[in-house]
């Protein structure tokens, strides 16, 4: 069931979630997505191209961030549009998980087609990693 | 090496059909740590009005990235893939992808440009059924860090 339009209001926050990312998470995502770029699993390659360490796939960050919206709205198929800019790499060390914290707020609502626009904020240790992160969803009438 | 600007506007033929399988959707959902039953359980999907399990919102990247490799990996285009990071991504959906879909991707090179010493390329992938029904459009911007000019410091602000 999708959330009802009448039960949502502009400015309302969505429940915040934190997603831990480990090296193993990146290996698994590489396999499932087919993105085997070594900067996501090989430290030497990452450092050689000027990164501090292995970084998470931007698409993994994007996949996790939208959970805040899909868990809230109920039906992931209600997502009509989703866009992000990857503003800072999510560094994943070999010895500790990186906590990706995601919060969201309703930016605008459109009565005519029962849609809402959600602004996402994704950060690691208080540094934002996504910019322009917006989701448009269809709500139940 | 500069990118070949003449690639801008180029449209590639549709890719070979990709058959969306239930187990692939489950594997992808597991990999992103999303335990939503609508990605695994047909009954849960049917309760939401779908005829089979649906795929997570970012699943189209599995098809669109492979399709974009036609241009990204083309040696004549001149992109240094070892320096490439993902700059921006957008999906615009007509409906969610679901198990059983047979999909193809038509890639268009939207733009080829330089910004702050980085080479940037934006591709658009229209993911359609074999009958031509548009399911989702994926826009990807890739950034080759510091490749646009010799001695330019990499911007380092992309993931």
Smallest CA–CA distance from B26 into chain A, residue: A32
B159/A88 CB distance under 8 A? yes
* Of the options 3.10.129.10, 2.70.98.60, 1.20.140.10, 3.40.50.620, the CATH number for the domain spanning A5-20+58-138: 3.10.129.10
Q: What is the pLDDT of residue B159?
A: 41
pLDDT tens per residue across all 159 residues of chain B: 678 889 999 999 999 999 999 999 999 999 999 999 999 999 999 999 999 999 999 999 999 999 999 999 888 998 887 788 899 999 999 999 999 999 999 999 999 999 888 899 999 999 999 999 999 999 999 998 777 654 333 344 444
Where along chain A do its domains lie? 5-20+58-138
Q: What single DSSP character describes residue B52? A: S
Cα–Cα distance list, A101 to A125, B15, B44 (Å): 8, 37, 28
Q: Give the CATH number of domain B5-21+58-144.
A: 3.10.129.10
Residues of B in contact with A28 (CB under 8 A): 30-31
Q: What is the pLDDT of residue B83?
A: 80
Strands (E), B1-159: 18-19, 84-93, 102-115, 118-129, 134-144
Judging contacts by C-beta atoms under 8 Å, the chain A residues touching residue B88 are 83-86, 132
Cα dihedral B101/B27/A65/B54 (nearest 10): 30
Q: Residue A1's pLDDT is what?
A: 60
Convert the pLDDT of each residue in A88-112 to its tens digit: 999 999 999 999 999 999 999 999 9
A49 falls in which pLDDT band (50, 70, 90)? confident
d(CA B106, CA A63): 23
pLDDT given at position B81: 79
**A132–B88 CB contact, under 8 Å:** yes
Could you tell me the pTM of the whole model? 0.94
Q: CA nearest B88 in A: which residue?
A: A85
Instruction: Name the minimum distance, in Å, from the CA of A93 to any CA of chain B.
Output: 15
- Determine which of A9-23, A108-122, B106-120 has the lowest per-residue pLDDT on average: B106-120
**pLDDT attached to residue B2:** 75
Of B33, B87, B96, the CB nearest to A86: B87
Give the A:B interface size as CB pairs under 8 Å: 129
B11-21 pLDDT per residue, tens? 999 999 999 99
What is the spatial distance between Cα A103 and Cα A115, in angstroms, rounded to a whole number? 19
pLDDT score for A2: 78
Tell me how far apart the alpha carbons of residues B159 and B87 are, in angstroms, rounded to a whole number. Answer: 6
Q: Give pLDDT, residue B149.
A: 53
A125 backbone φψ class: left, alpha, beta (φ>0; ψ -120 to 50): left
Q: Which of B89, B84, B60, B63 is nearest to B72 (CA)?
A: B84
Task: Look over chain B and give the mean of its residue pLDDT values, rounded to a whole number.
Answer: 90
């Amino acid at each position: 069931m999708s959330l009802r339009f009448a039960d949502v209001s502009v400015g309302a926050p969505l429940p915040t979630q934190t997603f831990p990312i480990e090296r193993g998470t990146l290996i698994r995502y590489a396999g499932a997505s087919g993105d085997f770029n070594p900067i996501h699993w090989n430290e030497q390659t990452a450092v050689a191209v000027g990164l501090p360490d292995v970084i998470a796939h931007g698409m993994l960050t994007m996949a996790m961030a939208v959970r805040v919206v899909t868990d809230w709205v109920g039906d992931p198929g209600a997502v009509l549009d989703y866009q992000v800019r990857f503003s800072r790499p999510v560094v994943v060390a070999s010895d500790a998980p990186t906590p990706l914290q995601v919060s969201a707020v309703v930016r605008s609502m459109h009565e005519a087609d029962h849609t809402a626009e959600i602004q996402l904020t994704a950060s690691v240790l208080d540094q934002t990693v996504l910019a322009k992160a917006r989701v448009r969803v269809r709500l139940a009438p | 090496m500069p990118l070949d600007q003449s690639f801008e506007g180029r449209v590639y033929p549709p890719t070979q059909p990709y058959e969306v399988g239930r187990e692939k959707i489950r594997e992808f959902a597991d990999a992103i740590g999303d335990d939503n039953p609508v990605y695994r359980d047909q009954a849960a999907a049917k309760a939401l009005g779908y005829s089979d399990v649906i795929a997570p919102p970012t699943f189209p990247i599995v098809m669109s990235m492979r399709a974009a490799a036609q241009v990204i990996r083309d040696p004549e285009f001149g992109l240094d893939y070892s320096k490439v990071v993902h700059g921006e991504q957008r999906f615009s959906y007509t409906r969610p992808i679901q198990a059983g879909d047979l999909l193809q991707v038509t890639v268009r090179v939207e733009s080829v440009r330089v910004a702050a010493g980085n080479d940037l390329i934006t591709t658009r992938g229209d993911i359609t059924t074999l009958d031509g029904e548009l399911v989702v459009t994926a826009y990807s911007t890739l950034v080759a860090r510091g490749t646009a000019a010799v001695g330019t410091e990499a911007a380092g602000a992309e993931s």
